Amino acid sequence: MIDKRVASLAQALEGIADGSTVMIGGFGAVGQPDALVDALAELGIKGLTIVANNAGWSAETGIPRLMDLGLVRKIICSFPKGSTVFRELYLAGKIELELVPQGTLAERIRCGGAGVPAFYTPTSVGTPLADGKEHRDFDGRTYVMERALRADVALIEAWKADRWGNLSYRGSGRNFNPIMAMAATLTIAQANEVSTDPIDPEAVVTPGIFINRVVQVESRVEALLAAQRQA
């Protein structure tokens, strides 16, 4: 029987190696796999490259916690503002930043999961973020070539999961989660509800083929509300 459920966060994170590239879903606090990230921080796995939209906001949890513990070598993201921890490490030259426009980040990840090694986009042409990139004209417009992004591990958050690893989301909680789920060798999902009953096939947003492990985690509503108040 296929059963992707695991009983604990420790089991969910088993086998992640030093130096891994880790995608972390979420847009700000919503859709962020907070429990998985915090558990990863406890494991002390070093030299991580993080792919995420943001660099987090609170030193106590999430990506800043990983950084504060010295576990992160580099972050690939679109909007690293709002995290004091990252700011200090970055200004001290202790962490590398690859700044990517949000849509380019999303498409690079989607291509990573879809077997497309590179694509062209008009985004960033004529800006410093296109420096050193290959430019090419199609039908009279200029584009830059961007490479696909893949990861060793993707940590994502869903609202519901079933034993096959099928996922559905809540509200704006999809954001980067469905595309990151496709782009990693090992994809681990935390979900508020995990069931042996299947999700309605028409309502599945992320098919289980993209998911390796699912762990049930009570969602931290208070943390989400706190993040909104801070926005």
Q: Which of residues 29-58 bind another protein (CB under 8 A)?
A: 29-31, 53
Does residue number 2 form part of the binding site for another protein (CB under 8 A)? yes
- 94 contributes a contact to another protein by CB under 8 A: no
Q: What six digits make up the tokens of 132?
A: 């050193």
Q: 142 φ, ψ to 5°?
A: -95, 140
Q: Which long-range contacts (CB under 8 A, 24 or more apart) does 65-74 make?
A: 65/37, 65/38, 65/41, 66/37, 66/40, 66/41, 67/95, 69/41, 69/44, 70/46, 71/41, 71/44, 71/45, 71/46, 71/47, 72/48, 73/19, 73/47, 73/48, 73/49, 74/49, 74/50, 74/98
Of the candidates 53, 54, 61, 168, which one interacts with its own copies according to CB under 8 A? 168
Nearest to 72 by CA among 98, 109, 104, 102: 98
- CB–CB of 145/118 below 8 Å? yes
* Amino acid symbol at 135: H
Task: Out of 7, 92, 93, 115, name the contact with its own copies by CB under 8 A.
Answer: 115
Give how many residues touch its own copies by CB under 8 A. Answer: 21
How far is C-alpha 134 from the chain's CA centre? 26
According to the binding rule CB under 8 A, does residue 75 interact with another protein? no
Q: What are phi and psi of 151, to 5 degrees?
A: -135, 160
Q: What tokens appear for 91 in the block? A: 């200004």
- In the complex, minimum distance from the CB of residue 158 to its own copies, in angstroms, rounded to a whole number: 12
99 touches another protein by CB under 8 A: yes
For its own copies, the closer of residues 93 and 115 by Cβ is 115
Residue 69 touches another protein, criterion: CB under 8 A: no
Cβ proximity to another protein: between 33 and 113 the closer is 113
Among positions 105-134, residues that touch another protein (CB under 8 A) are 106-107, 109-110, 112-116, 121-129
Residue from the set 49, 61, 175, 190 that interacts with another protein by CB under 8 A: 175
User: Is residue 171 involved in binding another protein (CB under 8 A)?
Assistant: yes
| Residues of this chain, 118-147, that bind its own copies according to CB under 8 A | 118-122, 138-139, 141, 143, 147
Q: Is 90 in the site for its own copies (CB under 8 A)?
A: no
